[in-house]
Amino acid sequence: MKYKFTHTADAAARIVIQNALFWGRKKLSVLTIPWCTYTDPEIAHVGMYEKEAQERGIAVDTFM
């Protein structure tokens, strides 16, 4: 697991249980795992970094 957060572990466990009990094929995606660093100003992240999107040929808009 790339990110070691409690909410990520919970989400992964739910997927494992659903797949085991209901013959599912769900997978955990790092694109849906939010994280933030409590600073002033705050820093948060969801999805890909700009460089990762550009490497995959995805057009992105950024703002600060």
Pairing of strands 43-45, 35-37: antiparallel
The Cα-based distances of 44 to 17, 22, 33, 36, 49 in angstroms read 29, 34, 11, 4, 11
**3-state class (DSSP) for residue 14:** helix
- Distance separating alpha carbons of residues 46 and 49, to the nearest angstrom: 9
The domain segmentation of the chain, as residue ranges, is 6-55
The Cα-based distances of 12 to 22, 28, 42 in angstroms read 15, 6, 26
Would you write out the chain's pLDDT as a tens digit for each of its 64 residues?
677 778 788 888 999 999 999 988 988 887 777 777 778 887 777 788 889 889 999 988 877 7
